[in-house]
Amino acid sequence: MRITRASANKRAGRATLLDGVGLMVAAGEMVAIIGPNGVGKSTLLRLLSGDLRPNAGEVRLKQRAISSFTPRELAAHRAMLSQHINVTFPFTVEEIVQMGAGERSAREAGPLVDAALDEVGLAHFHERQLPTLSGGEQQRVHFARVLVQLACGEAEHGPGLLLLDEPTSSLDLRHQIDLVEAARRRAGSGTAVIAILHDLNLAIRFADRLVVLAGGKLAADGSRTDVLTRETIRDIFEIDAVVHQADGVPYVLPQSMRAAVPPR
What is the signed CA dihedral for 243, 18, 5, 58, rounded to 10 degrees? -170
Q: How far apart, in whole angstroms, are the C-alpha atoms of residue 136 and residue 157?
A: 31
* HSE toward the beta carbon, residue 239, CA cutoff 13 A: 14
- Is the CB of residue 98 less than 8 Å from the CB of residue 141? no
Cα 150 to its chain centre, rounded Å, is 13
The 3-state DSSP class for residue 263 equals: coil
Predicted local distance difference test score (pLDDT) of residue 84: 79
For residues 77-116, one letter each, b for 16 or more C-beta atoms within 10 angstroms of the residue's C-beta and e for the rest, the string is bbbbbbeeeeeeeebbbbbbbbebbeeeeeeebeebbbeb
Predicted local distance difference test score (pLDDT) of residue 245: 85
- Is the CB of residue 190 less than 8 Å from the CB of residue 159? yes
Backbone angles phi and psi of 93, in degrees to 5: -55, -45
Cα angle 202, 37, 191; round to 5: 45
Predicted local distance difference test score (pLDDT) of residue 257: 64
* 125-170 confidence digits (pLDDT tens): 999 999 999 999 999 999 999 999 999 999 999 999 999 999 999 9
- Is the CB of residue 137 less than 8 Å from the CB of residue 171? no
Give the chain's domains with CATH numbers. Answer: 2-84+160-257 (3.40.50.300)
Cα→Cα distances 82→15, 58, 149, 195, Å: 23, 22, 14, 11
* 222-259 confidence digits (pLDDT tens): 998 899 899 999 999 999 999 988 887 888 998 876 55
pTM, full prediction: 0.93
pLDDT band, very low/low/confident/very high, at 260 (cuts 50, 70, 90) = very low
* pLDDT greater than 70 at residue 64: yes
Cα 160 to its chain centre, rounded Å, is 13
